[in-house]
Amino acid sequence: MHNLGAEMHHLCRELFPICRSITGNGFRESLSILGKHLPNLMTKEVPTGTKCFDWEVPKEWNITDAYIINPKGEKICDFQQLNLHVMGYSSPVDQVISLEALQQHLYSLPEQPDAVPYITSYYKERWGFCISQIERDKLVPGDYRVFIDSELKNGSLTYGELIIPGESQKEIFISSYLCHPSMANNELSGPIVATFIAKWLAGLKKRKYTYRIVIIPETIGSITYLSRNYKEMKKNIVAGFNLTCIGDERSYSYLPSRLGNTLADKSVLHVLSNLHPDFVTHSYLTRGSDERQYCSPGIDLPVCSIMRTKYGSYPEYHTSLDDLNLVTEKGLFGGYDVVQRTIKCLEHNEILRSTTLCEPQLGKRGLYPTVSTKSSGSEVRDMMNYLAYTDGKLSNLEIADKINTPLWALQETIDKLKSEGILELSEG
């Protein structure tokens, strides 16, 4: 674990300083860094103005520098120091204005005076600076030079897509988003865990399912991706996971799909309830990420979210405090572990059927104690309980839930019973 957690945190540090947005070079640069881990990751570009359902791809935004010069001639809100200082998608500006006029363009958080907030204005052209309340309170009347060297132009929206083929055309879908500037949990943790999960999957000798992994900008990215792929996705995806805020150490949490009780929901719930029984289940009514699109009426994909501490429910969320201390090696590894176990559960989720009526005679196969004592019953309890439900209708995941045992603890037994010919694959 230490290796993987450290490697993921290293990647997080590498990506952290880049100024990303829903379009532009920061997103491209970040994606190419992920690509060093995933040689088959494809970069797709969708031109500005492309219609995507009710939306269209916005202009591409790039920025090279920004700052304010205060009346004393000091540079403040320096983009080079912290890219959160500029409101995302700010239009270019180079003016000298009064403090009063400047105040209309400043954003701060009175209740978190040391935090610089993260603010964007994707769909209306304006400019602005984000500043801590402490610094804002120090501003004195006078002339301020405001400078933003940004460009909003026809360009394209960028996303990454990786298809890892499996034995079946049926797909497991993993989605995360890379459109936030220097914030670590929301959102570098998601694409980083997705990248390392993809790396593990690509290295497996065989996979039952095909894996579709996308790294996109949030909202407009999932809408764009769906508009190009939803028919195929609806046909093939059996379970999907949105990975977000998955790198801190505070909690584990889950936000269900809109349909609820899909295979995606069942598998995550199986892992979390067995591994982290104090996990938090959020209501779909509190959703705020790409499940909004994946689960929207008519799309209806079986996608739920796997998180550590959910966006909006930790104080550092969408501020400069969501940094490389909040996200840890241990936090990232814990998120990775849950996603990996969930996928393993799906890969092992066969429907098996007992090949004999009544309980099989396990003793003659060396699978059962031959002396009946007061305690021998409980020793083989799990095996017998598992067998009691192998009627060719319930999947291994459903049986594991019924008998209150994690599927990973049953797997060795299942493999043994299969090799003894006591179980066979059910036609369905």
Structure tokens at 157: 């929206």
Among 114, 137, 391, 424, binds a copy of itself (CB under 8 A): 391
Binding segment toward a copy of itself, per CB under 8 A, in 10-18, 160-168, 334-342, 381-389: 381-389
Q: Looking at 133, 186, 293, 395, which residue binds a copy of itself (CB under 8 A)? A: 293
Q: Is 370 in the site for a copy of itself (CB under 8 A)?
A: yes
Copy the structure tokens of residue 378: 């409980």
Residues 149-188 that bind a copy of itself (CB under 8 A): none
In this chain, which stretch among 6-14, 136-144, 205-213, 297-305 interacts with a copy of itself, using CB under 8 A?
Answer: 297-305
With left for phi above 0 and alpha for psi between -120 and 50, is residue 57 left, alpha or beta? beta
| 359 in contact with a copy of itself (CB under 8 A) | yes
Tell me the number of residues near a copy of itself by CB under 8 A. Answer: 62
Are 106 and 56 contacting, i.e. CB atoms less than 8 angstroms apart?
A: no
Per rule CB under 8 A, is residue 317 in the interface with a copy of itself? yes
How would you classify residue 330: left for phi > 0, otherwise alpha for psi between -120 and 50, otherwise beta? Answer: alpha
Question: For residues 9 and 180, which CB has a smaller minimum distance to a copy of itself in the complex?
Answer: 180
Listed residue (341, 270, 276, 267) closest to 309, CA to CA: 276
Q: Which is nearer to a copy of itself, 10 or 381 (CB)?
A: 381
- The two tokens of residue 228 are 């190009």
Q: Which of 203, 205, 285, 419 binds a copy of itself (CB under 8 A)?
A: 285
| Alpha-carbon distances of 187 from 64, 177, 200, 255, 286, rounded to whole Å | 22, 7, 21, 17, 18
Query: CA nearest 274: which of 203, 205, 341?
Result: 341
Query: CB-based contacts of 132: which residues, under 8 Å, 6+ apart?
Result: 108, 109, 113, 114, 115, 116, 320
Classify strands 210-216 and 171-177 as parallel, antiparallel or unpaired.
parallel
CA-CA distance, 415 to 396, in Å (whole number)?
Answer: 12
User: How many other CB atoms are found less than 10 A from the CB of residue 40?
Assistant: 12
* Minimum CB distance to a copy of itself smaller for 39 or for 110: 110
Of 10-18, 26-34, 120-128, 327-335: span binding a copy of itself (CB under 8 A): 120-128
Q: Is 77 in the site for a copy of itself (CB under 8 A)?
A: no
- CB of residue 58 vs a copy of itself: minimum separation in angstroms? 11
Q: For the window 89-118, what string marks contact with a copy of itself as x by the rule CB under 8 A?
A: ------------------x-x-------x-
Tokens of 61: 């935004």
Binding residues for a copy of itself, per CB under 8 A?
52-55, 107, 109, 117, 119-124, 126, 219, 222-223, 226-227, 230, 258, 284-285, 287-288, 292-293, 295-300, 312, 317-318, 353-354, 356-361, 363-364, 370-374, 377, 381, 384-385, 388-392, 403-404
